[in-house]
């Protein structure tokens, strides 16, 4: 029996790892998408259907916050990511642009626990009649706001830098354009907000507190999910590259990578449906400091990547099939415990 258990640990490492953690449901929600801590007790959450909720993680109280966003819930669209910083709230959402056309848009409001009056600071153009691939995550580095904008299922639009879909956006926190964006250097044909192109459906974006770089995760098609770095003026290659995947019809897309394009740090073939990511920093799991935590939807797993040596990236499955499809991940600002939006709930993971 002991030999069998050792073999199971070797073949299915997640079976052993999951025993080290306790999972606690904090509150039930409905199709939650994005989350951000306001302080050590309160977390702000978006629901795709249009609600913004403030949840007290201690007493489990839920307050509904009114807002003025002109959103359209259509397919994968609705209210998406949310980010609190210096008493401001930033949100990405599928904006209703009329006649079922929508854009991945970003708005900003001064924080208020009763009502948020948002003002747009970015719209991805052109608006498109599609319910697919909005992205979209937000990250702040210094005075810059980074955002991921999906290619809306339009494929080669991600190779057109005169259109926003399929790119990483970088703007100032007030929505103005940084003077050193690619357009003002060696990419005069690029839209001024675009930082990087060639992205498909990026649902993870985070600033590393260790090296100051912006990292992201991206959905491939039928295979070809990846984790990589956002790099100024570069091109991840969609839909010239397939990153190891194929079209859903089975027809090949293109090579996994070729010179001239940004190379991802780690790929998943077949797809795990990568979602939100973080670079862990905290006390609860201090042995993970500096490692990437990658959540997944289809695979319902949490993956840990050790990527300090890019020639030897190591992956561990922390758990699988414990809390359902994982949409978002947040690290508590003080304790380092980990919170997930998974299924229709907010979950806590801590050491047992």
Tell me the per-residue pLDDT of 128-168, one tens digit each, with 9 for 90 and over: 999 999 999 999 999 999 999 999 999 999 999 999 999 99
User: Which position has the token pair 């090949």?
Assistant: 252
Of the chain, the percentage scoring pLDDT greater than 70 comes to 95
Whether residue 44 lies inside any domain: the answer is yes
CA distances from 352 to 20, 129, 284 (A): 6, 48, 11
Q: How far apart are CA 103 and CA 125, in angstroms?
A: 7
Instruction: Answer for the pair 60, 42: CB distance below 8 angstroms, yes or no.
Output: no
Boundaries of domain holding 214? 24-351
What's the pLDDT at 256? 95
The two three-digit tokens of residue 17, written as one number: 């790892």
Tell me the per-residue pLDDT of 29-76, one tens digit each, with 9 for 90 and over: 999 999 999 999 999 999 999 999 999 999 999 999 999 999 999 999
What's the structural domain count of the chain? 1
Whether residue 203 lies inside any domain: the answer is yes
Whether residue 332 lies inside any domain: the answer is yes
DSSP string over 212-266: --EEEEEE-BBB-EEEEE--TT-B--TTT--TT-B-TTS-B---S--TTSPPPSE
* pLDDT(7) > 90: no
Neighbour count for residue 96 (Cβ, 10 Å): 19
| Mean pLDDT computed over 2-27 | 62
Name which of 56, 58, 33 is nearest 46 in CA terms. 33
Q: What is the CATH number of the domain that holds 343?
A: 2.120.10.30
Whether residue 202 lies inside any domain: the answer is yes
Tell me the per-residue pLDDT of 289-337, one tens digit each, with 9 for 90 and over: 999 999 999 999 999 999 999 999 999 999 999 999 999 999 999 999 9
Bridge partners, residue 170, by sequence: 146
Whether residue 6 lies inside any domain: the answer is no
Return mean pLDDT, the chain: 94
Q: For CA atoms 122, 326, 53, 95, give the dihedral sign.
A: positive
Q: How far apart are CA 92 and CA 150, in angstroms?
A: 12
Whether residue 158 lies inside any domain: the answer is yes
3-state helix, strand, coil in the chain (%, to 5): 10, 45, 45
pTM for this entry: 0.94
Tell me the per-residue pLDDT of 221-257, one tens digit each, with 9 for 90 and over: 999 999 999 999 999 999 999 999 999 888 999 999 9
Whether residue 293 lies inside any domain: the answer is yes
Name which of 221, 230, 217 is nearest 329 in CA terms. 217
Whether residue 7 lies inside any domain: the answer is no
Q: How far apart are CA 93 and CA 91, in angstroms?
A: 7
What's the pLDDT at 19? 72
């Amino acid at each position: 029996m002991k030999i069998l258990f050792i073999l199971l640990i070797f073949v299915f490492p997640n079976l052993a790892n999951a025993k080290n953690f306790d999972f606690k449901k904090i509150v039930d929600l409905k199709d939650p998408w994005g989350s951000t801590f306001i302080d050590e007790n309160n977390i702000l959450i978006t629901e795709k259907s249009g609600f913004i909720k403030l949840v007290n993680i201690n007493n489990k109280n839920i307050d509904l916050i009114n807002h003025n966003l002109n959103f359209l819930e259509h397919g994968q669209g609705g209210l998406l990511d949310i980010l609190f910083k210096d008493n401001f709230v930033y949100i990405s959402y599928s904006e209703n642009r009329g006649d079922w056309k929508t854009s991945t848009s970003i708005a900003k409001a001064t924080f208020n626990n009763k009502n948020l009056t948002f003002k747009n600071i970015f719209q991805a153009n052109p608006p498109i009649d599609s319910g697919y691939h909005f992205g979209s995550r937000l990250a702040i580095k210094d005075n810059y706001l980074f955002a991921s904008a999906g290619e809306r299922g339009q494929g080669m639009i991600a190779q057109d830098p005169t259109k926003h879909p399929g790119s990483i956006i970088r703007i100032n926190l007030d929505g103005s354009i940084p003077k050193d964006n690619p357009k003002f250097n060696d990419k005069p044909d690029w839209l001024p907000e675009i930082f990087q192109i060639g992205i498909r459906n990026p649902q993870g974006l985070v600033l590393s507190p260790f090296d100051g770089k912006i990292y992201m995760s991206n959905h491939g098609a039928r295979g070809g999910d990846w984790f990589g770095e956002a790099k100024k003026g570069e091109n991840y290659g969609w839909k010239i590259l397939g990153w190891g995947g194929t079209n859903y019809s089975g027809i090949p897309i293109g090579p996994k990578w070729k010179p001239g394009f940004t190379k991802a740090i780690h790929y998943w073939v077949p797809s795990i449906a990568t979602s939100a990511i973080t670079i862990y920093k905290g006390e609860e799991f201090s042995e993970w400091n500096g490692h990437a935590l990658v959540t997944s939807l289809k695979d319902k797993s949490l993956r840990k990547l050790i990527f300090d040596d890019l020639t030897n990236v190591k992956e561990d499955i922390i758990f699988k099939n414990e809390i359902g499809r994982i949409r978002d991940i947040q690290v508590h600002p003080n304790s380092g415990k980990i919170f997930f939006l998974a299924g229709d709930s907010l979950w806590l993971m801590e050491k047992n």
